[in-house]
Structure 1
Amino acid sequence: MITSVKNEKVKSWKKLQKRKERTEQGLFLIEGYHLVEEAWKSKWEIQEIIVQENSDVPHWAKGFSLEYVSDNVFQYISQTQTPQGIAATVKMKQQTTINGNQVLLIDAIQDPGNLGTIIRTADAAGFGAIILGNGTVDMYNDKVIRSTQGSLFHLPIFQANLEEKIPALQQDGFSIWASALANSKDYHTMDVPEKVALVVGNEGAGIQEQLLKLADSIVKIPIYGKAESLNVSIAAGILMYHLKG
């Protein structure tokens, strides 16, 4: 059992809390029974499972490399308020395949909770992929991962330059719908294309002008009360379910 936070393995796990280190190691850290099991069920490559002393080990985990650690070590690497006593290091996946006719494009969303909720909703709505544009929060951020409730492992999610990706999707037969208030039409008045890529934008600034110019349609969700706008994850959810028809 590892009992010191100065242990080299522990230092390596702790480093995974930073994006730069995750990228360099090609690994990220997940916590909790549900997330670790979802990674396993979804056939992501688990490098090792970290178990806090006196915690239960799931039956399916027995074949993996298990590292037992003391309470103080687990608290040191944990980023949750009430740790469950199990964590894992998982290899990042290089994914570029789009499975299906609906794709979500994310332009510079910065709140981890928003991104995680959007990923979870896209999974529930049966979208074929999520493409993260420049300036978007890291999908392997611990708050993003927790907010996805495991949906991170269920559909392709990858980074790309949206200015280059949108024309490529259009060549592949996708119509581009951008969500914005100016020069837009109510979404429910529009015919839903067979293949569609929906763009949602930054919480404060919205979608960048150069991306709006590339869109085939600009759509909005009507506001019937006095709120100025909708939270981006709510707006994305309404539009994604509409596009699934």
Structure 2
Amino acid sequence: MLTSVKNAQVKNWAKLKMKKFRMKTGMFLVEGEHLVTEVHHSNWEIEQIIVQNGMDAPEFAFDYSITIVAENVFQHITDTRTPQGIAAIVKMKEQEWVDPHTVLLIDSVQDPGNLGTMIRTADAVGFDAVIVGGKSVDLYNEKTVRSTQGSLFHIPVFQEKLSVKIPPLKEKGFAVWATTLDQAMSYKDVPVTSKVALLVGNEGNGVDGSLLDLADYNVKIPIHGQAESLNVSVAAGILMYHIKG
């Protein structure tokens, strides 16, 4: 059992809280029995399972390399206030692009909860893929991963430069819908074609102007109350469900 936060292995696990170290190692940490179970039931690879001393591990955990750690060590490497006593080190995965028909494009979203919720919703709706632009919060941020509730492991999510990715999508017959309040039409008035890429933007500034120029339709969701706007993840959910019918 590992009992010291000064242990070299423990130090490396703790460094996974930093994006730079995650990218260097190609690893990230997931915490909690639900998320660890979701990884187990996916085609992602678990490198290591970490269990807090005295906590019960699910039966499948014994299919992997397990390290038992003291409570102080587990709290040191994890991010939540009330850890559940189980975590996993997971290898980042190169996703496969398989002829999608519905794609969510995410530009410069900074809140990990919003990013994770949109990935979760895209999975629930039945979208085929998600592309996260380079200016968005890190996909493997612990709060992002937690907010996906496991959907990260079940829907292809790519990290790409959107200005490079959108033109090939259009060449393949995708209609690009960009969310904006300026010179936009109600989403209900836009024809839903067989291939749609939905582009949503930053919480405060919306979609970048250079990306708006690439869109086929500027769309908005009518607001009937006093709110100035909708949360980006809520708006994305409404539009994705509409697109999928």
> What's the TM-score, normalizing by structure 2?
0.98
How does 1:175-214 map onto structure 2 within 5 Å?
175-214=175-214
Instruction: Find the aligned partners of 1:213 and 1:76 in 2 and give their Cα distance.
Output: 46
**Which residue number in structure 2 is paired with residue 225 of structure 1?**
225
**Which residue number in structure 2 is paired with residue 16 of structure 1?**
16
Runs of 4+ in 1 over 4 A off after TM superposition: none
Unaligned 5+ segments in structure 2 are none
CA contact (8 A) 1:96 1:158 kept: no
Q: Are 1:88 and 2:88 matched, yes or no?
A: yes
**Which residue number in structure 1 is paired with residue 54 of structure 2?**
54
CA contact (8 A) 2:190 2:217 kept: no
> SS state of the match for residue 81, structure 1?
coil
Amino acid of the residue matched to residue 25 of structure 1?
T
Instruction: Find the aligned partners of 1:172 and 1:40 in 2 and give their Cα distance.
Output: 34
**Which residue number in structure 2 is paired with residue 66 of structure 1?**
66
Q: Are 1:36 and 2:36 matched, yes or no?
A: yes
**Alpha-carbon distance, 1:193 to partner:** 1.0
**Alpha-carbon distance, 1:43 to partner:** 2.0
Question: CA offsets per residue over residues 5-37 of structure 1, 9 Å max, x none?
Answer: 111110010000000000000000010000000
**Which residue number in structure 1 is paired with residue 130 of structure 2?**
130
CA contact (8 A) 1:32 1:86 kept: yes
> SS state of the match for residue 214, structure 1?
coil
Q: Are 1:241 and 2:241 matched, yes or no?
A: yes
Question: CA offsets per residue over residues 205-233 of structure 1, 9 Å max, x none?
Answer: 10011100110111100011111110100
Instruction: Find the aligned partners of 1:94 and 1:139 in 2 and give their Cα distance.
Output: 13
**Which residue number in structure 1 is paired with residue 97 of structure 2?**
97
Q: Percent identity?
A: 59
Question: CA offsets per residue over residues 35-82 of structure 1, 9 Å max, x none?
Answer: 000001012100000010011111111120000001111111110111
Amino acid of the residue matched to residue 242 of structure 1?
H
> SS state of the match for residue 144, structure 1?
helix
Instruction: Find the aligned partners of 1:236 and 1:198 in 2 and give their Cα distance.
Output: 8
Instruction: Find the aligned partners of 2:151 and 2:218 in 1 and give their Cα distance.
Output: 28
**Which residue number in structure 1 is paired with residue 144 of structure 2?**
144
> What's the TM-score, normalizing by structure 1?
0.98
Amino acid of the residue matched to residue 54 of structure 1?
G
Instruction: Find the aligned partners of 1:112 and 1:217 in 2 and give their Cα distance.
Output: 27
**Alpha-carbon distance, 1:170 to partner:** 0.6
Amino acid of the residue matched to residue 225 of structure 1?
G
Instruction: Find the aligned partners of 2:166 and 2:75 in 1 and give their Cα distance.
Output: 43
**Which residue number in structure 2 is paired with residue 171 of structure 1?**
171
Count the aligned residue pairs. 245
Question: CA offsets per residue over residues 104-139 of structure 1, 9 Å max, x none?
Answer: 000000001111111111110001110011210011
Instruction: Find the aligned partners of 2:96 and 2:184 in 1 and give their Cα distance.
Output: 30
